[in-house]
Structure 1
Amino acid sequence: MLRDHKAVAYAIMRLALGMNIFGHGFFRILSGVGNFASGMAQGMDKGPLPHVLTLSFGYCIPWIELTVGLLIILGLFTRFALASGALLMVALTFGTTSVQNWNGAGTQLMYSFIFFAMLWLVEANTFSVDGLLSRRK
């Protein structure tokens, strides 16, 4: 089983992506969701989106990141988690481009590509909770 290099590579990349997204959420929660949400909304004030919308979304983002990241780390509901993470990137990119933060949008595009690639290659997700559950069937 360890000779399946594609599965090993997928598991390592899944762990790296999951830890990255989980870390975003975990440390934002640890340092105060309100601080993150307020700072994000303040940074978006120069754009056309309403403050209350960006503030509300800012309160949700860390919890979404925490959940999506944990699911990806575990390899549990992997397709759903990857699709959710990709859709989060779409929403973040919309906000980022609304304030013409092109560097931020470029970073989000890189994350979007990684989510795409991981979703595209999801059949290699054998070293995971999903893989374990499918082998038991």
Structure 2
Amino acid sequence: MRVWVGVFLIILSAVAFVAAAKQIEMPAFINGSAQDRPSPYPRIGRDRIHLFPDRIVIDLVDAHWATFTDSNSMDPLFDEGHFAIQVTPKTEQDIHVGDIISYSVAGTDGIIVHRVVAIGDDGEWYAIVRGDNNSLPDPGKVRFGQIKRVMAAIIY
């Protein structure tokens, strides 16, 4: 038993050394912490979710069904074949850092679904968005008028 514990500690030390040398992110169980990132704003209270033996009922006004294409930009959160429930934001105050929004880009027919990473005001409200699997934010500021919906739930 002592031999296996020793082998485990040697392997764990080697992993930590290699990770430090390569400056890669180490799993939380090794370095004791994980990066804190903003989560989506809670849009559905527990009192609005009703579980029954044969169904689930969610009391949600202005709900819309969403599907996704295989772009990989939001991997591993969701991908093609997953579904979501979205709601239409009424004002800028309905959008928070961490939320996942659907927005349009002028001159295109498509809708982009990415996470809000910053909110600002340059005389007009805007959001900076980025796909979870993308290294850089999307180009340009997303204005409130471009936002179609905000994610309320993901269904796998």
Same fold per TM (> 0.5)? no
TM range (shorter): under 0.3
User: Which gives a bigger RCO, structure 1 or 2 (Cα 8 Å, sep 6+)?
Assistant: 1
Bigger strand share: 2
TM-score when normalising by structure 1: 0.27
Larger radius of gyration: 2
